[in-house]
Amino acid sequence: MSDATALRIEFVTSLADIAPEHWDTLAGSDYPFLRHSFLYGLERSGCTSADTGWQPCHALLWRGQSLVALLPLYLKDHSWGEYVFDWAWADAWRRMGLNYYPKLVSAIPFTPATGPRLCCAEGFAEDDAWPLLLQGIRALSEEQGISSWHLLFPQQATSDKLLALGTAQRVAVQFHWLNQGYQSFDDFLSTFASRKRKNLRRERSRVAEQGITLQRLCGADISPDRWARFHRFYQLTYAKRSGHGGYLSEAFFTEVAPSLGEQTMMVVAQREGRDIAAALYFRSSDTLYGRFWGCEQEYDCLHFEACYYQGIEYCIEQGLQRFDPGAQGEHKIQRGFTPVYTFSNHWIADQRLAAAVQDFTREEAEHVARYREEAAGLLPFRKAGA
């Protein structure tokens, strides 16, 4: 790397301090969750702040006046909204008389979607950026008494690089739909074993039998009233599941999400001419991300239709290669979603605990590999030669 002495690292506590064009030049616009408008929108709408335990602390690498690399980064005093569960680690720290919080997390808040994390300018390599960023993160951690740094849902190539740099690599499983060049939903169903195919068709028919219709709306076709209504559905559903109204504010849905334009898609369910439920998706050029679901009351099979089958149909129509419907959910397997690995990386300041985390992640990876193999055996597709 030439002219390394001119490089400096900076940590900024708000994306308001970075011009959108500077951030987006490096982050691009294809992966929606790294766009300046999305991440800064989370700040402006009150979702990521010191008060919510998601204090922005984004890492920037500068060469003179030129931004050459960026990494989303948050200072956290809890582990909510991450989807990589480390509560047991926090408890281990506590039992040793140590503080696990605050910690640093590089992630898209409330979004367990694999994608780019470190973004570099043209001509500046990740291999040059990572050692400098890790050095800066270690120095910041020592200065502020921070226990650790965690990179959540990076692409595998990035995770492997960080594994080689001494971080612990953790693997988990999600269930994604993979487009095998299907021409229609029926074409996709033709790959199922007969009984599984009938079950899925029965679920879709059940929605229609209840007098429910669905439509897919994209970008500007989603009205302000529908965005506001979606927030109400989201709150109602979160309250039923978790006892609180969710991580995201009304302003996120009415101001931030619409700013992403054609990268948003909403499936709206209606009954007797009235909206009763909706599912919200985001997209890149090759991937659909199913993110949020809400309803005013439960209807048989409606969640499967709005959150999975409508998404599959949209991917086939648009030629998207992957559908990532979110974390967890073994019920997705029988609906044709393949178990795939997700990754995270972890740097721990205390060497005793770092060694324990390394051992834990290696042992856990063996269990995850067996689980993925077993889950793949439950997929509904016809066996070869059947």
Same domain, 14 and 162: yes
pLDDT of residue 1: 41
Same domain, 169 and 184: no
Segment 160-202, tens digit of pLDDT:
999 999 999 999 999 999 999 999 999 999 999 999 999 999 9
Strands 7-12 and 58-63: antiparallel
Same domain, 122 and 194: no
Same domain, 302 and 367: no
> Phi/psi at 293 (nearest 5 deg)?
-140, 145
Same domain, 138 and 190: no
Count of domains for the chain:
2
C-beta separation of 281 from 289 below 8 A: yes
In sequence order, the β-bridge partners of residue 216 are 267
Range of the domain at 232: 180-320
Residue 326 lies in a domain: no
Residue 362 lies in a domain: yes
The reported pTM is 0.96
Same domain, 36 and 118: yes
Residue 328 lies in a domain: no
C-beta separation of 13 from 57 below 8 A: yes
Q: Is the pLDDT of residue 3 over 60?
A: no
Selection from 55, 109, 118 nearest residue 83 by Cα: 109
* Across 2-16, 200-214, 320-334, least confident range: 2-16
Same domain, 53 and 170: yes
Residue 113 lies in a domain: yes
Same domain, 142 and 12: yes
Residue 333 lies in a domain: no
Same domain, 98 and 207: no
Residue 47 lies in a domain: yes
C-beta separation of 294 from 311 below 8 A: no
Q: Is the pLDDT of residue 386 over 80?
A: no
> How far apart are alpha carbons 110 and 153 in whole angstroms?
12
> How far apart are alpha carbons 151 and 170 in whole angstroms?
10
Q: Is the pLDDT of residue 226 over 80?
A: yes
Give the mean model confidence (pLDDT) for residues 103-124: 97
Same domain, 76 and 151: yes
List of E strands, 226-286: 264-271, 274-283
Same domain, 81 and 128: yes
Sequence-distant (≥ 6) Cβ neighbours of residue 21 within 8 angstroms: none
CATH number at 63 reads 3.40.630.30
> How far apart are alpha carbons 354 and 357 in whole angstroms?
5
Same domain, 125 and 235: no
Sequence-distant (≥ 6) Cβ neighbours of residue 208 within 8 angstroms: none
Selection from 80, 56, 100, 83 nearest residue 152 by Cα: 83
Structure tokens at 381: 């597709």
Please provide the average confidence, as pLDDT, over all residues in the chain. 96
Q: Is the pLDDT of residue 255 over 50?
A: yes
> How far apart are alpha carbons 125 and 293 in whole angstroms?
38
Residue 295 lies in a domain: yes
Torsion of CA 204, 224, 108, 63, to 10 degrees: 140
Quickly tell me which residue has 């982050």 as its tokens: 27
pLDDT-derived band at 245 (thresholds 50, 70, 90) equals confident
Residue 384 lies in a domain: no
